[in-house]
Structure 1
Amino acid sequence: MNATQAVGRLIAVTGIDGAGKSTLAAALQQACTVAGLPVILVGKRTVNVQGSPELSRYLDAVNAVVYRRDASVGQASGDHYWLLALAAWYTLQDQLVVRPALQAGTHVILDNTHHKILARYAVNPDVPTGLAQQVFAHLTPADLILFLHVAAEEALRRKEHFTPLEAGRTGPTSDDFVAYQQRVTDALLAYADDAWAPIDVTTMKPDDVLQEVTGLLHERRILTVTA
């Protein structure tokens, strides 16, 4: 990066399952691209390491272990293992994809940050909360964290179906999903600081969410984007 090149900005999106994180992240990337801004969208399937097929293959292999494994393997491995496996994935993606992009002056839209994982472990009595915080503490801090706050009942309506993990393995009913996701919401709110921008999206359409987000970016002097 030359002396006059600006560092990219990191905008992260978090929220419970069904909040609309991926929808917003994709729409925001598109809006930035239309505005002529250099931007990439980074999600849990992003494995491309610029200029390095070898590192891309390695990142893809780690992704396969973490996200593309048999469900029975996941449950058998235990919560401590998955905390460390997820920390390894987020660490590699941060080191190999996010930081180089920011240093090159490219803005990064980060879909589904580690905060939801922290929140899930915060409501898990079997793993110390401090351990979960520690293994993610080194990740690049975001310039803005968009917290899509949605009522758990509305999240369920949007999803229609949910996995045992999305109900915290507490039970198979809709009430189990709603109760667990509410606990995760409360845990997420506990992490909020000045970098967070909570947006109640319960009754909002995706276009309205995007418009509010672009206004926030302009207001906080992070990026100028027109929805």
Structure 2
Amino acid sequence: MTTSPPTDRPTGRLITFVGGDGAGKSTLAARLHQGLNEAGHETILIGKHSTQAAASELSAYLDRLNELVYRRDARVARACGDHYWLLALASWYALQDQLLVQPALAAGTHVILDNSPHKIAARYAANPKVPNRLTEQVFEHLTEPDLVFFLDIGAREALARKGSFTSLETGHSGGADEDFIAYQETVLDHMREKAAYGDWEWLDVAGLDRDEVFKAAASALAGRLRLTV
């Protein structure tokens, strides 16, 4: 009597990123995605405009929701209010998790998730108009990441890298550089508090170039998830 080998594929790993605007999250996400695939690890990169669901009829709906949340008319965005946008973002992340993240992980594919909901949560934690518990509740059902990279850099250095910013990146507090810096530091304080009590991989990226950040992240990825790039 022979025993058939198991057919179940190993579950993929979910890797996400958090940090202030200008920290280099998207750059690192793209490089890790490329590096993992080149090393033979089947990996996909999901960003805020990824809408290609496995079931094609759902992709169109996901795209319409994405258009509502991320390609909205800036003239009416603020008029809708903070609570509306929190719930709209929660809807987007819920569908993204259900239609893109979970199927990939179940198929054994690693997922690099740019634009982590942790960043949205930190922004709302800095917003006194929205209860922190509400923000936690609308995101708490999402798939728990296997690894969260926190790219920590001061807001002033981040601004020097970016060169420009949007009203959203100042919390709609004004258009001066100091408005960006003050708001970003408030959001970063919430991220740092979360990182101190959580299991995030805290990378101090101040003064580091892109290659140095990538090497530090690759080392953490190998050490914590046994994934080499």
Bin the TM-score by the shorter chain: over 0.9
Distance 1:43 1:189 in 2: 23
SS at match of 2:151: strand
Shift of 1:3: 4.2
Aligned counterpart for 2:204 among listed residues 191, 200, 216: 200
Give ranges in structure 2 of 5+ residues lacking alignment.
1-5
Distance 2:76 2:216 in 1: 41
> Is 1:103 aligned to residue 106 of structure 2?
yes
Match for residue 7 of structure 1? 11
Match for residue 88 of structure 2? 85
Q: Write the letter of the residue equivalent to 1:66.
A: V
Distance 1:204 1:113 in 2: 22
TM-score after normalising by structure 2? 0.95
Larger Rg belongs to: 2
Shift of 1:223: 3.6
Q: Write the letter of the residue equivalent to 1:56.
A: S
Distance 1:195 1:4 in 2: 28
TM-score after normalising by structure 1? 0.95
Distance 2:123 2:96 in 1: 21
> Is 1:37 aligned to residue 37 of structure 2?
no
Is the 1:15–1:112 contact (alpha carbons within 8 Å) kept by the matching residues of 2?
Answer: no
Distance 2:125 2:106 in 1: 32
Distance 1:30 1:7 in 2: 20
SS at match of 2:53: coil
Aligned counterpart for 1:153 among listed residues 139, 156, 159: 156
> Is 1:186 aligned to residue 189 of structure 2?
yes
Identify the range of structure 1 (178-187 vs 193-202) with the bigger mean alpha-carbon deviation: 193-202
SS at match of 2:16: strand
Distance 1:224 1:87 in 2: 30
Q: Write the letter of the residue equivalent to 1:170.
A: S
Shift of 1:122: 0.8
Q: Deviations over 1:101-121 (max 9, x none)?
A: 000000000112111111111
Shift of 1:217: 1.2
SS at match of 1:162: coil
> Is 1:135 aligned to residue 138 of structure 2?
yes
Aligned residues: 223
Match for residue 28 of structure 2? 24
Match for residue 3 of structure 2? none
SS at match of 1:22: helix
Q: Write the letter of the residue equivalent to 1:60.
A: D
Runs (4+) off by over 3 Å: none
| CA RMSD after TM alignment | 1.1
Shift of 1:194: 4.2
SS at match of 1:45: coil
Is the 1:167–1:177 contact (alpha carbons within 8 Å) kept by the matching residues of 2?
Answer: yes
> Is 1:173 aligned to residue 193 of structure 2?
no
